Amino acid sequence: MRLLYLFLLATLNFGLSAQNVDLKGDCHDAVEIAAKGSYKFETTPCWPGKVLEISGNSSNSSMYFEEETHSAWFRFEALVDDYLTFKIYPTDTDADFDFMLFEYTDEDFCADVQDKSVKPIRSNISRNDPEFLSVTGLSMGASEKFVRSGPGNPYSQAIKTEKGDCYFLVLNNVQGTETGFNLSFNYYTTKTVSGVVKDEETGKAIENATVTWEEKHGEVLAESTTDAEGEYSFEAPVQKGNRMRDYVFSVDGKKYLFNEEVVTTSENHKLEPLITLLPRLRAGLKMTLRNINFYGGIATPLPSSRPSFGRLLKLMRKNPSLEILIEGHTNGCYRGIGGIEHSQNLSENRANRVKQFLVKRGVSEERMKAEGFNCSQMLYPDPKTPMEQQLNRRVELRVISY
């Protein structure tokens, strides 16, 4: 969990240093920030402010939290014309942050918020989920503008902005947890992603396959399905700018192993149509899960493996008759620290780590076996780069029966 958190923070742009700003609990004192990059706050909202702009609301409201308990107000302007997202990451994942976002109107704005003549344009009051770092915010992949309290999507729908649009964001630290937090902003545009999905053996089109476009850390940005000809075309969010960035494109279909690949693109980069071949599930079929890799010397998966874990879980749930062998592998036999015995134990632990992930989420243990192959089947027997070493630290999947 902590390793995943550190990975996500590393993916943020911390061009702005930790903020020594006194957080303000009232609308009229809102802290002005630039809606770009990332802010790290060492303190947390621990008071409701002198004025309760938000109060007296139903616990079932999807638009409002009941009242401010530990709040912080921010004011910012959109810097470009396009879609704006933000993320709020509490340092302590036990914390539960809610938010409401308003579009500024005029000098009477704060009073109008208090008497509800100005309403939020986005809010999220869902319960925190430590498994997903208790993050909340706006996402290109979210469909709801407002998310009520209780279990639910931690993200609300991104907003379409024009440069100079002014917004007020209020955070509510529901439980008053003493923790810092990070607030990051990103701008997105969309580009067309198209292609076709076919059966690897027959070349026939696969209808109703799911195609998914994700950030590398697993945030789903867009999904679509294939038509009767196996074709798809959808608008995929990409971060604005000419910098080339990696996105994960995956395809899955019932009765097929999933496929995932990294697509590198930017706002103005042209993408050619993608052709994806899916192997049909059958006994003996083997797949290298290239995106489930581990830290060196231990059975802890890299944070970037999380989306692939989710796809494997989806595969097992969609195909309840599927039985698999999970094979663990290492990068070398660790001379001097246990040799082949250490490598064997490590490979077994890696396979069992994947198995236990699935068991904890309801997949019957009887449908899975786990086995270690030490360093006997390295993809790169003499790895030259850190990436080749990483790819050796992997698991593979073999279909026992279907």
Condensed to tens digits (0 to 9), the pLDDT of residues 347-390 reads: 999 999 999 999 999 999 999 999 999 988 888 888 889 888 88
Note whether residue 63 is domain-resident.
yes
Q: Among 179, 201, 224, give the residue marking a domain's end.
A: 179
- The answer, yes or no, to whether residue 95 has pLDDT greater than 80, is yes
> Do 51 and 135 fall into the same domain?
yes
162 burial class (0-12, 13-18, 19+ CB within 10 angstroms)?
exposed
Grade residue 13 by pLDDT with cuts at 50, 70 and 90: very low
> Do 167 and 238 fall into the same domain?
no
> Do 131 and 241 fall into the same domain?
no
Q: Among 233, 257, 280, give the residue marking a domain's end.
A: 280
Q: Among 280, 303, 326, give the residue marking a domain's end.
A: 280
151 burial class (0-12, 13-18, 19+ CB within 10 angstroms)?
exposed
Q: What is the pLDDT of residue 392?
A: 87
> Do 143 and 238 fall into the same domain?
no
Q: What percent of the chain is modeled with pLDDT above 70?
A: 93
Q: What is the pLDDT of residues 244-294, one digit of tens each?
A: 999 999 999 989 999 999 899 999 999 999 999 999 999 999 988 767 888
> Do 13 and 88 fall into the same domain?
yes
Q: What is the pLDDT of residue 20?
A: 54
- Total count of domains within the chain: 3
Q: What is the pLDDT of residue 8?
A: 44
> Of the candidates 399, 391, 394, which has an alpha carbon nearest to the alpha carbon of residue 369?
399
> Do 268 and 295 fall into the same domain?
no
Q: What is the pLDDT of residues 158-196, one digit of tens each?
A: 999 999 999 999 999 999 999 999 999 999 999 999 999
Report which residue type is found at 288.
T
Most confident range, picked from 5-19, 112-126, 130-144, 322-336:
112-126
Strands 97-103 and 122-126, sheet pairing: antiparallel
> Do 223 and 311 fall into the same domain?
no
CA distances from 1 to 92, 130, 174, 185, 315 (A): 11, 8, 22, 23, 23
Note whether residue 184 is domain-resident.
no
> Do 28 and 101 fall into the same domain?
yes
| C-alpha span between 265 and 286 (Å, rounded) | 30
> Do 239 and 300 fall into the same domain?
no
Instruction: Flag the least confident range among 227-236, 302-311, 318-327, 368-377.
Output: 302-311
Instruction: Flag the least confident range among 8-12, 19-23, 398-402.
Output: 8-12
Residue 268 maps to which CATH number? 2.60.40.1120
CA distances from 100 to 224, 234, 270, 369 (A): 29, 30, 37, 47
Q: What is the pLDDT of residues 231-249, one digit of tens each?
A: 999 999 999 999 999 999 9
| Mean pLDDT score across all residues of the chain | 90
Domain span at 134 = 2-179
